[in-house]
């Protein structure tokens, strides 16, 4: 089976999972977070090298203070726990997103974990927190402009590879993008990196997206014919 190098997951459906069970939305986030704990380890064990998780978008600040604060507290606990688990497995943890208006406590944890895991080599876990592709591209353009002014970059030399250095993290493109929760949209997730991603949408709400459901996504991916605009002459269907 062909295993994707970089998997992205739009973690969606926690709130509806809770509502359907007569629980508070926060309980859905807790269930989603617990599900992530086991799923992430399983994904790396399958041979995936990079895992990008969309856990909070720039737009998610539109939600109530109560929900946002609950999520931030949950992330703090989660990141501390993930550091212990993934550092032992030689996995680097990185974060993608704007720093403002995240609170200092969370920024300190992000900086600490990023620094402590920077030399790990077996895989990369990328948390997209306060992340939006539009923000990422605009931030990249601002950094590019600064480098041009400071004579560190010549505009005519800008190409795909150089541009990627200005994104929050220079990661290989996403191979498989999974979205749980039934919505068929990207909601501002890694638009640059997903240019040629294989897309997999499922109605399963994230807390129920278990290993068997993940296997379905990986199986679907392994059957895709990735042509990148070319023609795969080895496949009879062409």
The catalytic residue positions are 12, 60
Stretch that binds Mg ion, among 9-17, 123-131, 167-175, 191-199 (CB under 5 A): 9-17
DSSP state of 127: E
| Residues belonging to the chain | 238
- Coil, strand or helix: which one is 169? coil
Q: Which is nearer to Mg ion, 44 or 206 (CB)?
A: 206
What is the distance between the alpha carbons of residues 94 and 195, in angstroms, rounded to a whole number? 21
Residue 204 as a binder of Mg ion (CB under 5 A): the answer is no
Please provide residue 96's backbone torsions phi and psi, each rounded to the nearest 5 degrees. Answer: -120, 130
Helices (H), the chain: 14-20, 25-45, 65-88, 104-116, 133-149, 160-164, 211-222
| Chain residue whose CB lies nearest ligand IPE | 15
With CB under 5 A as the contact rule, the residue among 12, 27, 175, 198 that binds Mg ion is 12
Stretch that binds Mg ion, among 5-13, 44-52, 198-206, 223-231 (CB under 5 A): 5-13
Residue 14 as a binder of ligand IPE (CB under 6 A): the answer is yes
Tokens 């997903």 found at? 194
Partners of 54 in the beta sheet?
Answer: 10, 128
The site partner of 4 among ligand IPE, Mg ion, none (C-beta below 5 to 8 Å per kind) is: none
Scored b (16 or more CB within 10 A) or e, 104-113 reads: eebeebbeeb
**Pattern of binders to ligand IPE over 53-92, x per CB under 6 A?**
-xxxx--x----------x---------------------
Residue 178 as a binder of ligand IPE (CB under 6 A): the answer is no
Minimum CB–partner distance for residue 181 and Mg ion (Å): 6
* Binding site residues, ligand IPE, CB under 6 A: 10-16, 54-57, 60, 71, 181, 183, 185, 187
């Amino acid at each position: 089976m062909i295993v994707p190098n970089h998997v992205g997951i739009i973690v969606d459906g926690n709130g509806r999972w809770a509502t359907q069970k007569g629980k508070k939305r926060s309980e859905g986030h807790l269930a989603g977070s617990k599900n992530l704990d086991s799923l992430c380890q399983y994904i790396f064990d399958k041979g995936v090298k990079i895992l990008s998780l969309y856990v909070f978008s720039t737009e998610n600040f539109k939600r109530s203070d109560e929900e946002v604060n609950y999520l931030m507290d949950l992330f703090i606990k989660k990141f501390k726990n993930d550091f212990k688990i993934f550092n032992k497995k030689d996995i680097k943890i990185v974060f993608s997103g704007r720093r403002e208006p995240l609170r200092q406590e969370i920024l300190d944890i992000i900086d600490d974990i990023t620094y402590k895991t920077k030399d790990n080599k077996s895989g990369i876990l990328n948390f997209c927190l306060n992340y939006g592709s539009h923000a990422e591209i605009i931030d990249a353009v601002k950094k590019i402009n600064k480098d041009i002014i400071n004579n560190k970059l010549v505009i005519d030399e800008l190409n795909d590879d150089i541009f990627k250095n200005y994104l929050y993290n220079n990661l290989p493109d996403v191979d498989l993008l999974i979205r749980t929760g039934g919505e068929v949209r990207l909601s501002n997730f890694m638009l640059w990196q997903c240019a040629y991603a294989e897309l997999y949408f499922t109605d399963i709400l994230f807390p129920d997206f278990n290993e068997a459901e993940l296997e379905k996504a990986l199986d679907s991916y392994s059957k895709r014919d990735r042509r990148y605009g070319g023609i795969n002459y080895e496949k009879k269907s062409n």
